[in-house]
Chain A
Amino acid sequence: MSFIKSTAFKYIPILVFAIIIADYFFAISGLGSIAEALRQFAVVISNIALGLGVISLLKIHGKNVQRRVEGRWLYSIVTIVTFLTVFILGLINTNGEQYQWAFRNVYTTLEQTMYASTGFFIVSSAYRAFRARNIDAALLLISGCIVVFTNAPIGEVIWSGFPVIGDWLLGPGQLPGYRVLMLIAGFGTIVYAYRVITGNERGFFGGGE
């Protein structure tokens, strides 16, 4: 394990990076197929990780049931039964009516319900953000109100200037700041990638020490 941590983790990323980056920039025959194989390998690893995830999920919830962990074990049974049902249905036929029914009427419905609840949380978050405690917060409050009136049909009825100012705020008003932040995030990602491939970022390999 120490060899893997000290050597393999340091040199494998450098090698993979060199191949992928060379394929992106240089027209060298044969390199494309190696880079493509590496990309495919990432997909394979990701699928293996999915398998590990399934094992981990069943282990955690199986343990909950076995130990009758208070407040959890009944939900764990639901999780295991649901998992096995959908897994078996999927093995039989992913295009089958039963599998599609479960996906459409159970998964999608629950997913949409959770997503819809976001609206309420946004309102409480906005209430906190829009308290005009200082000049910055007051500017945010004014801008926010204008954008709300731009998007709400009643806004234009109250004053025809709302959509004009609102559209400006959503376009030229915020775009420069948005692009600068995206640019800087890009720089940050490149630096981080450099640190990872040169083996200088090891914090996620077990704490880095």
Chain B
Amino acid sequence: MLIKDGRIIAFVLLFGSFVLYYLFTRMMEQGKNFKIRTLAPLEALPEAVGRCAEMGRPIFYMPGIGTSLSLSSGAYILAGITVLGRLARFAAKAGVKLRLFTVTIDAMPLIQETIRNAYALEGKVEEYNDDDIELIANQSSLVSRYIGAVQRENPAGACLIGYLAYESVVLAEAGNLVGALQISGTVNLYQIPFLVASTDYTLIMEELFAAAAAVSGDAGAVGPIAAEDVIKLVSLGIMILGMILAPIGIKFLVNLLRL
């Protein structure tokens, strides 16, 4: 058989999803209007920058740990960098110093280019400073460096958006101690409670990807997000059907999904 055993349904579902993404993108290009609901954390970005401008303090950004090439963290880091692009534009416009701390070596060129481009788009490329972006050796070094920088530089705003692990609670609490307005976002479920408790706004799970799409706002980014809602509804239907069929001994659906 051409398709490997046990992967038929996965292939059908994935391919079907891609067809839906394409169709919704086409529909949007042809004038259908899909909107991503207002994401409070995204709306809070200018508020955080404005606060920093009023108080004359910097804004901090941490795009998470891991590497952009990794299967587990890559997508989250890239989505975080997309949000960073928007924040950098706000910061450049308001003349607020943007300080970034990262351990993600392979994402450094992307981060630098994103921030430099944001400054260029605001016509302030001469204000871009490579030294404001700090590459730190590893997770624990990042924690100590970030806490130290928070205490010394007193940021009025901070964003922790990307793939976050144990450092999330430490960094968020450090920001809290100096009264920074904090925006966070991650797909690491174990860190969500800490971020919700310690930061002002949180992008929960896939909201991080939706935020990245909302930043660009074009059909190719928003269309697939709209299609995702259809897929969620179909999945919900399959789950409800499974809940009804499995207890009465009908294993058709279970066997089908194992194909």
> Is the CB–CB distance between B110 and A205 below 8 Å?
yes
A110, A124, A128, A192 interface centre (most CB from chain B within 10 Å):
A192
Tell me the bound Cα distance from A52 to B68 in angstroms.
14
Query: Quick one: CB contact mask for A93-135 with B, threshold 8 Å, 1 for yes?
Result: 0000000000000000011001101100110111011000000
Query: Quick one: CB contact mask for A194-209 with B, threshold 8 Å, 1 for yes?
Result: 1110111111111111
> Is the CB–CB distance between B197 and A129 below 8 Å?
yes
In the complex, what's the smallest C-beta–C-beta distance from A196 to chain B, in angstroms? 7
A170 within 8 Å of B by Cβ?
no
CB neighbours of A122 from chain B (8 A): 169, 194
Interface residues in B, total, Cβ within 8 A: 77
Which of B88, B210, B215, B221 makes the CB contact (< 8 A) with A188?
B210
Tell me the bound Cα distance from A63 to B134 in angstroms.
12
B21 within 8 Å of A by Cβ?
yes
Interface SS of chain A: helix, strand, loop or mixed? helix
Tell me the bound Cα distance from A188 to B206 in angstroms.
5
> Is the CB–CB distance between B205 and A188 below 8 Å?
yes
CB neighbours of B138 from chain A (8 A): 111
Interface SS of chain B: helix, strand, loop or mixed? helix
A45 within 8 Å of B by Cβ?
yes
Tell me the bound Cα distance from A193 to B76 in angstroms.
11
Known contacts A118-B170, A192-B75; is A207 also within 8 Å of B208 by CB? no
Tell me the bound Cα distance from A202 to B143 in angstroms.
30
> Is the CB–CB distance between B4 and A204 below 8 Å?
no
Which of A45, A125, A193 makes the CB contact (< 8 A) with B75?
A193
Binding site for A on B (CB under 8 A): 1-4, 7, 10-11, 14, 17-18, 21, 25, 67, 69, 75, 78-79, 81-83, 85, 88-89, 105-106, 108-110, 113-114, 116-118, 121, 131, 134-135, 137-138, 140, 143-144, 152, 166, 169-170, 172-174, 176, 187, 189, 193-194, 196-198, 204-206, 208-210, 212-213, 215-216, 218, 220-221, 224-225, 227-228, 231-232, 235
Binding site for B on A (CB under 8 A): 21, 24-28, 42, 45-46, 49-50, 52-53, 56-57, 60, 63, 71, 79, 110-111, 114-115, 117-118, 121-122, 124-126, 128-129, 178, 181-185, 187-196, 198-209
A-B contact pairs, 7 of them (CB 8 A): A52-B108, A114-B144, A122-B169, A181-B204, A201-B220, A202-B216, A207-B88
Known A49-B105, A53-B108, A118-B166; 14 more pairs at CB < 8 Å:
A21-B14, A27-B2, A46-B67, A52-B108, A52-B109, A60-B131, A60-B135, A114-B140, A181-B205, A188-B210, A191-B228, A201-B221, A202-B216, A209-B117
